[in-house]
Amino acid sequence: MTNHRPKIGILLPTRGELIYSPKEPNFQNILDLAETIESHNYHSIWVGDSVSAKPRIEALTTLAAVATRTKNAKLGTAVLLSGLRNPVVLAHQIATLDVISKGRVFLGVGVGGGESKNLITEFPACGVPYSRRVDYFELGLEIMRKCWTENNISMSNDLITLDEITVEPKPVQKPHPPIHIAAAHFGIPIKRQLFRVAKYGDGFMSTLITPEEYASIFEAISKLAGEMGRNPKSLGRSLYMSINLNQDKQEATQEGNDFLMKYYGYNFWADRWGPFGSGSEVLKSIEKFTDAGVEVLVVRFAAKDQKRQLELFTKEVYSSF
């Protein structure tokens, strides 16, 4: 058993509701599951994000509703494609959510994009040239921080003009909600990704990565942060994991991959998501990541029956911590 107790959160099926009930999504299912997650004293409740590429119930609207039905759990995004939005408007929305939730917002953010057409066309549909999505993302992080901590902000460049603007309310959390930046998926240490985590992030978030890769990449980020004059020990570490619990490993793997195919439309993960199988297998995997330094774990159930998966996970995995 690991000596470290991970902070575990559960992803709400805002995408799953549209996969299985596209014409009549039931938002009450989302609220009911959120309340159950809170009742089991999980660290956090999470939502994914997409506007058109992977249809779902909108992320921040969902968390605002969940905030009114919960009291203690952190409310997270894994991950918010923040570069799809105007950063001033988004800063206002997130600050308001932090006020509604009394300081429980936890942001995981990422650039987004990919190989398939729907992942590419989502950006120009939201007013962002695909080729400049990284620029929009990084500038957006800078602007949001300013909106949350400063007044009378002025800035002018080829992407945005701000003329002595002030955004209120400010977030409850000071200086602002924590921001974990997604990077190094598949364990690939892309230099610009690591640099922006070290420069703009309060933490590192990843997925589709091994424990060994995670530890190595976080070490590289910590070194960069130190070179920038930041305290590497201040950086948080989080991981997004997709699992399917079933004593029959073959059934778990089949259902898990079927769910992910419906979710994304094509298989880009090979065998990197999981584990799919028994509670003991999932527990061992979590322990390996925790030993590699992961502090916050976001669990997505790759299954249609989210309530049943939560029951199994709580009994067979979460109770061990």
Would you kindly state where each structural domain of the chain is located, as residue ranges? 7-320
Mean pLDDT by 10 residues, the chain (321 residues): 79 97 96 98 98 97 98 98 98 98 98 94 98 98 98 97 98 98 97 97 98 98 98 97 98 97 94 95 97 98 98 97 90
Picking from 84, 87, 90, 64, the residue whose alpha carbon sits closest to that of residue 12 is 64
> pLDDT at position 311, please?
98
Homologous superfamily assigned to 7-320? Luciferase-like domain (3.20.20.30)
pLDDT computed for residue 3 by the predictor: 57
Question: What is the DSSP code string of 168-202?
Answer: -SPPSSSS---EEEE--GGG---HHHHHHHHHH-S
Q: By CB neighbour count within 10 A (0-12 exposed, 13-18 middle, 19+ buried), where does 229 fall?
A: exposed
**CA gap 172, 99 in Å, rounded:** 6
Calculate ∠ Cα 105-106-107, nearest 5°.
115
8 A C-beta contact, residue 22 and residue 62? no
Q: Output phi, psi for 237, to 5 deg.
A: -135, 120
pTM of the full structure? 0.97
> Quick one: pLDDT at residue 5?
82
